[in-house]
Amino acid sequence: MKNKANSNSYIQRRRFGPLAAIRVKPAAGNPRRGWLTAGQLTIPVALGRGGILANKREGDGGTPRGSYRPRQLWWRGDRHSRPQTFLPARIITGADAWCEDPGDRHYNQWIRRGSGQGGDRLKRTDHLYDFIIEIDHNRRPRIAGRGSAVFLHLVRDNFAPTAGCVSMTKSAMLQLLRRLGPRTRIIIG
């Protein structure tokens, strides 16, 4: 019996393992809204206020067109238990931030900040960053001014546009996380 139980568990993991790819497309008639398709799951998402852009620049509000990989999950361990995912996961602390200054050598990287120091804080009072999927946009090579802190995260009320990220409801995020792994491609556009 023990081998049969292990065998069934293995089949379940393989059947529901990470997806090879997910796709994000703009919604017809509204470039600030879109649809994310992950296997049989299709969910509404908010996109950047500039829509999907092929030539992403820092501050343009565009969601970058391209193919990316998820790097890791960041989550608020003080608000939620660790979600199921194939991604590496890290709890967000009060010192965690993201460098958005193109003139800084740490541009588009995680940084640790003390109180009063700059950077996009990952621990926020609202719930937008309760779950963050970090993607490899503008990572290798990092090019100053080509965009930073492009994440998949939780949506604002009424699906208001983002500054360039892809956002979704908490329930959609938790469903998506169960199917993402480090080799899953995120195709935007």
Give residue 8's pLDDT band: very low, low, confident or very high (50, 70, 90): very low
pLDDT for residue 24 is more than 80 = yes
Summarize pLDDT for 158-177 with one digit per residue, the tens.
Answer: 999 999 999 999 999 999 99
Span 22-40, average pLDDT: 97
Structure tokens at 155: 């949506």
What mean pLDDT value characterizes the chain? 92
Structure tokens at 97: 């931030």
pTM for this predicted structure: 0.89
Query: How far is Cα 32 from Cα 26, in angstroms, rounded to an integer?
Result: 7
Query: How far is Cα 85 from Cα 116, in angstroms, rounded to an integer?
Result: 34
**AA letter at 91:** I
Domains, the chain: 18-188 (2.40.440.10)
Summarize pLDDT for 41-54 with one digit per residue, the tens.
Answer: 999 999 999 999 99
Per-residue confidence (pLDDT) for residue 115, from 0 to 100: 74
Residues 6 or more apart whose Cβ sits within 8 Å of residue 19: 38, 39, 179, 180, 181, 184
Summarize pLDDT for 105-155 with one digit per residue, the tens.
Answer: 999 999 998 777 767 899 999 999 999 999 999 999 999 999 999 999 999
Q: Which helix (H) or strand (E) holds 178?
A: none
Q: Beta strand pairing status for 89-91 and 70-75?
A: parallel
Per-residue confidence (pLDDT) for residue 15, from 0 to 100: 59
Query: How far is Cα 66 from Cα 16, in angstroms, rounded to an integer?
Result: 26
